[in-house]
Amino acid sequence: MRVLFVSLPSIGHLLPLVPLAWAARAAGHEVLVASCGEAEVVAQAGLHMVDIAPGVTLRSLFIDSHRQHPEISERLQAGDDAEELRRDFWNFRGVAG
């Protein structure tokens, strides 16, 4: 079976997938990890990795998000409640949070 793991390039999202990917590979499956930016740590762990967004980094994603939604950035800097911000951020996109 072919198994595809897709993740943001952040350590907290990506690294927990490495043992799962290795387990799938050890079970005889063909494994590919898809991410972008700083995700080369996956290749260093011996897994096949493809950069699905060349030139995009976690930093560039955050910068773009702050530029597109300055009201969220202003609320963060003002110290608004993180849970409320998370809910508003996803509701703004029409995603149930």
Q: Would you list the domain boundaries of the chain? A: 2-51, 58-92
13-47 b/e with 16+ CB inside 10 Å = b?
A: ebeebbeebeebeeeeeebebbbbbebebbeebeb
pLDDT at 16 over 70: yes
pTM listed for this prediction: 0.67
What band does 1 get if pLDDT is binned at 50, 70 and 90? very high
DSSP per-residue codes, 41-97: HHHHTT--EEESSTT--HHHHHHHHHHH-HHHHHHHHHT--HHHHHHHHHHHTT---
